[in-house]
């Protein structure tokens, strides 16, 4: 059972392995939402995520014999690092099964703590079943990433820190994958102050908890499809599900494109790298139908590889109208390139890339296709540039940008 005594024990235990992630007040998100928004930056932990809390607390409660058998888990990355880190402290062998889609940075960091990493399956659920099979075959002690009351109790230490620092908090937004973090946070919050609302946030393409709550029993999704790899779970935990049923006030879902924009918000306004799963609560801020409340968004992790980061930034700029591409047809005669460049310059557009093709037509009045990728200040500026080109008779056509512009 997750009791207040156990939460207090866990909170004291995890202090040995966690950084003090003090709340960060966000002027940007507060002004945007009309609430007082605070960020709980678990992306600043040594392992890059909150998962070390539950992993360490669970392993600390095991017997020496259980640890000597070797530890095994399945994880999309953050729990893997938590188990590997804690196992190293206790001198225990750690075997981690990770989906083949796990970002390279998470794989390498898990290995850096001395763990043996096995890549298996396309999603967490497949990796988990393989880890369970290996545990049975070799006698390893399995450390579940979320469907475990002890692990969830360790994760709940986040709520203890939030309430100690901000006792008057009104709403806590919590990312949801399998539900361990949400179960721990919501249960402790309701034990300490039932008036505080706890809202889980899931990706729309992996909303297993939302569907389970609707059905009043654990539901398995046929597929999951989201860029939030840390929360790409088909089936929530049945052990911790009753706690969520009793203590969670609501579930919000967000689309992947909202996570992309939220990444830019965090980088530009808080200079923080937060992975897609950690951005769920940031994207959800815009969906709260309240004002004047004190809201805490838990940023669950920040383990994102550079390639993914580059792609997210690029797509975010496109989504915001700060990068766009137009195609125009020009007469095949000298000076036309200068003319169109002058129109763009007058509107303060910045050319990122030009593609000039003379062979699209035999009609010399429209013989040259010019594909221009531009940088703008946003959607309104983008519209102004397109309108200026139209006034000059260029008939610009917006097309999907391609390539990398960073």
The string of pLDDT tens digits covering residues 84-120 is 999 999 999 999 999 998 878 788 989 999 999 999 9
Q: Average model confidence (pLDDT) for the chain? A: 92
Asked which of 142, 170, 191 is the last residue of a domain, the reply is 142
- pLDDT tops 80 at residue 332: no
- Reading the block at residue 274, the tokens are 């937060």
Residue 290 belongs to a domain: yes
- Reading the block at residue 254, the tokens are 């967000």
Query: Do 27 and 114 share a structural domain?
Result: no
- pLDDT tops 70 at residue 234: yes
Residue 121 belongs to a domain: yes
CA–CA distance from 293 to each of 277, 354, 360, 386 (Å)? 24, 48, 58, 41
**Lowest-pLDDT range, 30-39, 193-202, 240-249, 354-363?**
354-363
Active-site hit among 51, 58, 106, 234: 51
Query: Do 67 and 37 share a structural domain?
Result: no
Write the CATH number for 375. 3.30.70.260
d(CA 293, CA 171): 7
Residue 170, burial from CB neighbour count under 10 angstroms (0-12, 13-18, 19+): middle
Query: Do 188 and 232 share a structural domain?
Result: yes
Q: Can you point out the beta strands (E) in 276-400?
A: 294-299, 323-330, 350-357, 368-375, 397-399
Residue 165 belongs to a domain: yes
Query: Do 98 and 14 share a structural domain?
Result: no
Residue 102 belongs to a domain: yes
Query: Do 395 and 358 share a structural domain?
Result: yes
Rg of the chain over all Cα atoms, to the nearest angstrom = 25
CB 301 within 8 A of CB 282: no
The string of pLDDT tens digits covering residues 351-400 is 988 888 766 665 655 568 889 999 999 999 999 999 999 998 888 999 87
Residue 270 belongs to a domain: yes
3-state secondary structure of 16: coil
Q: Which residue segment(s) compose the domain that 82 sits in?
A: 53-142
Hey, which of 257-261, 337-341, 398-402 has the most confident mean pLDDT?
Answer: 257-261
Q: Name the pairing type of β-strands 397-399 and 350-357.
A: unpaired
Closest by Cα among 280, 261, 146, 276 to 200: 280
Asked which of 115, 142, 169 is the last residue of a domain, the reply is 142
Model pLDDT, residue 160: 97
CB 163 within 8 A of CB 192: yes
Residue 279 belongs to a domain: yes
Active-site hit among 6, 40, 300, 382: 300
Query: Do 171 and 41 share a structural domain?
Result: yes
Query: Do 163 and 26 share a structural domain?
Result: yes
- pLDDT tops 70 at residue 206: yes
Query: Do 244 and 155 share a structural domain?
Result: yes
d(CA 75, CA 233): 10
Query: Do 287 and 195 share a structural domain?
Result: yes
Quote the percentage of the chain above a pLDDT of 90. Answer: 78
Q: Residue 140 has what DSSP assignment?
A: P
d(CA 316, CA 395): 26
- pTM, rounded to two decimals: 0.88
3-state secondary structure of 25: strand
Query: Do 135 and 196 share a structural domain?
Result: no
**What is the tally of structural domains in the chain?**
3
Q: Name the pairing type of β-strands 116-119 and 24-26.
A: unpaired
- pLDDT tops 50 at residue 406: no
d(CA 296, CA 169): 7
Residue 264, burial from CB neighbour count under 10 angstroms (0-12, 13-18, 19+): middle
Non-local CB neighbours of 149 within 8 Å, separated by 6+ positions: 1, 2, 239, 240
Q: Residue 113 has what DSSP assignment?
A: T
Phi (first) and psi of residue 19, to 5 degrees: -85, 155
Whether the CA torsion 316, 322, 36, 303 is positive or negative: it is positive
As a whole number, mean pLDDT of residues 277-301 equals 97
Residue 171 belongs to a domain: yes
As a whole number, mean pLDDT of residues 41-68 equals 95
Residue 193 belongs to a domain: yes
Query: Do 236 and 91 share a structural domain?
Result: no
Asked if 346 is an active-site residue, the reply is no
Quote the percentage of the chain above a pLDDT of 70. Answer: 96
Asked if 51 is an active-site residue, the reply is yes
Write the CATH number for 60. 3.40.50.1100
d(CA 244, CA 404): 42
């Amino acid at each position: 059972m997750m009791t207040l005594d156990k939460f207090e024990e866990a909170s004291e235990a995890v202090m040995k392995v966690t950084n003090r992630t003090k709340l960060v007040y966000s002027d940007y998100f507060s002004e945007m939402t009309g609430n007082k928004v605070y960020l709980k930056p678990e992306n600043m932990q040594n392992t890059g995520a909150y998962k070390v809390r539950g992993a360490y607390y669970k392993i600390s409660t095991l017997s020496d014999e259980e640890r000597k058998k070797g530890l095994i888990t399945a994880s999309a990355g953050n729990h893997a690092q938590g188990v590997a880190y804690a196992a190293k402290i206790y001198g225990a062998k750690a075997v981690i099964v990770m989906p083949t889609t796990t970002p390279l940075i998470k794989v390498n960091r898990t290995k850096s703590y001395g763990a043996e990493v096995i890549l298996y399956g396309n999603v967490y659920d497949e990796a988990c079943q393989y880890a369970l099979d290996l545990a049975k075959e070799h006698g390893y002690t399995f450390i579940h990433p979320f469907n475990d009351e002890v692990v969830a109790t360790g994760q709940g230490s986040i709520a203890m820190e939030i309430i100690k620092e901000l006792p008057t908090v009104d709403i806590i937004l919590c990312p949801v994958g399998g539900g361990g973090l949400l179960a721990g946070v919501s249960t402790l919050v309701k034990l300490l102050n039932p008036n505080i609302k706890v809202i889980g946030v899931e990706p729309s393409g992996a909303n297993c908890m939302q569907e389970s709550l609707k059905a009043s029993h654990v539901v398995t999704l046929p597929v999951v499809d989201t860029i939030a790899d840390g929360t790409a779970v088909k089936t929530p935990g049945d052990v911790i599900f009753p706690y969520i049923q009793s203590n969670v006030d609501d579930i919000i879902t967000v689309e992947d494109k909202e996570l992309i924009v939220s990444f830019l918000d965090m980088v530009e306004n808080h200079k923080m790298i937060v992975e897609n799963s950690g951005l769920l609560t940031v994207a959800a801020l815009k969906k709260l139908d309240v004002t004047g409340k004190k809201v805490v968004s838990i940023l669950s992790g920040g383990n994102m590889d550079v390639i993914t980061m580059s792609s997210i930034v690029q797509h975010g700029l496109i989504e915001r109208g700060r990068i766009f591409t137009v195609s125009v047809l020009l007469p095949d005669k000298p000076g036309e390139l200068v003319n169109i460049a002058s129109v763009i310059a007058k509107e303060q557009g910045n050319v990122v890339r030009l593609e000039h093709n003379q062979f699209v037509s035999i009609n010399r009045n429209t013989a040259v296709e010019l594909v221009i990728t531009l940088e703008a200040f946003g959607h309104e500026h983008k519209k102004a540039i397109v309108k200026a080109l139209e006034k000059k008779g260029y008939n610009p056509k917006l097309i999907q940008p391609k390539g990398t512009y960073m």
